[in-house]
Structure 1
Amino acid sequence: MEYAARIPGVLQSLKETRLSGLRPVTEFFDYNRISRPADSNTAFSRISYNTRYFSGNYALIIAMLAVYALLTNLFLVFALFFLVGGFALINKFGADPLQFGEHTITQKHLYTGLFVIGIPLVYIGAPISTFFWLVGASGFLILGHAAMVEPGVESEYASVEEGTV
């Protein structure tokens, strides 16, 4: 239960750190500022500025893509719940050895059985391809958006605020 008591604090700190940088949707999807960069230097400078400026929005995009990836790969979700749930149940109920006739089943035997069944289930669920899909999809969206959106007027003053004129 001590983990459940920490959840509001973790969510509050997440809100203060990451989500405080969210920019309004109208600014994020401002089609008037979309243009093709003139050259690669312009694209790299836009990416550099926009990834910092829209970092909260990009984190939200990654989170939404991760949820989508898990919703479309329910077998992976089942396999992860099987492993995590089995681990929690063994910790809670399997501390004492169980006696079945001549056989004694210890906590070590339960963990071995859990991993012998759970690891192949996770492997079949394809977590590596799901991870690489998430990296590729989020990278494509974020880099594409960051390269195409012209920085606002405030970007001209960013170097002045940092002290580098």
Structure 2
Amino acid sequence: MEIVGKVAEGLQNFRENRLSGLKPPQEFFDHRQLSRPRDMNEATHRVTYNTRNFSGNYLLIVVILALWALLTNPLLLIVIGLFAGGFAAINKFGADPVTVGNQVITQKTLYIALFVIGIPLLIIADPFSFFFWLIGSSAILILAHAVLMEPGVESEYSSVEQV
């Protein structure tokens, strides 16, 4: 139960810190602020400002892309479920050794069996392509938005000290 409490607390902190900074869709998708930067210096300034300003929205984009990639790769989803379910079942039911015939099945034996079955399936599911697709697609979408979106007027006053 202690683990569930920590996970719930972590999700609560995540929601308060990251998702509270979400900008409304009208501001995030404001087509009137789209323009091509004049030079590399302006593009760098836009990326710096927009990644800070829209960090919650960008994180949401990464999460949505990850969910999309998992749903379109059912074998990877099954393998993740196999590992999660296997670990949960072994921790819940496999703590005490069980004797079957002449064999003693311990928790260590169950973990080895889970990895012997799960690792080849994981290799077939190709999590590396999932990972690199997620990085590439997220980077392209986020950088394209950050470069093309003009910073608001408040960006001009970001370097001014608050009294």
Q: Secondary structure at the match of 2:104?
A: strand
Match of 2:157 in 1: 157
Deviations 1:30-80 (A, max 9, x none): 111101111111111111111101111101111111111111111111101
Taking the aligned partners of 2:24 and 2:15, their CA distance within structure 1 comes to 15
Match of 1:120 in 2: 120
Instruction: Say whether residues 1:102 and 2:102 are aligned partners.
Output: yes
Match of 2:21 in 1: 21
Distance 1:22 1:121, change over 3 A: same
Match of 1:135 in 2: 135
Compute the displacement of 1:24 (Å): 1.2
Taking the aligned partners of 1:144 and 1:5, their CA distance within structure 2 comes to 39
Q: Secondary structure at the match of 1:159?
A: coil
Match of 2:88 in 1: 88
**Structure 1 residues 46-57: aligned runs within 5 Å:** 46-57=46-57
What RMSD in Å do the two structures reach over aligned CA positions? 1.6
Runs of 5+ consecutive residues of structure 2 not aligned to the other structure:
none
Taking the aligned partners of 1:107 and 1:89, their CA distance within structure 2 comes to 11
Q: Secondary structure at the match of 1:104?
A: strand
Q: Secondary structure at the match of 2:41?
A: helix
Deviations 1:112-163 (A, max 9, x none): 1110001111111111110110000000000000000110101001111479
Structure 1 runs (4+) greater than 4 angstroms displaced: none
Taking the aligned partners of 1:77 and 1:118, their CA distance within structure 2 comes to 12
Taking the aligned partners of 1:51 and 1:5, their CA distance within structure 2 comes to 31
Distance 1:162 1:139, change over 3 A: farther
User: Could you tell me the TM-score, scaled by structure 2's length?
Assistant: 0.93
Taking the aligned partners of 2:18 and 2:98, their CA distance within structure 1 comes to 47
Taking the aligned partners of 1:161 and 1:56, their CA distance within structure 2 comes to 25
Percent of pairs with identical residues: 57
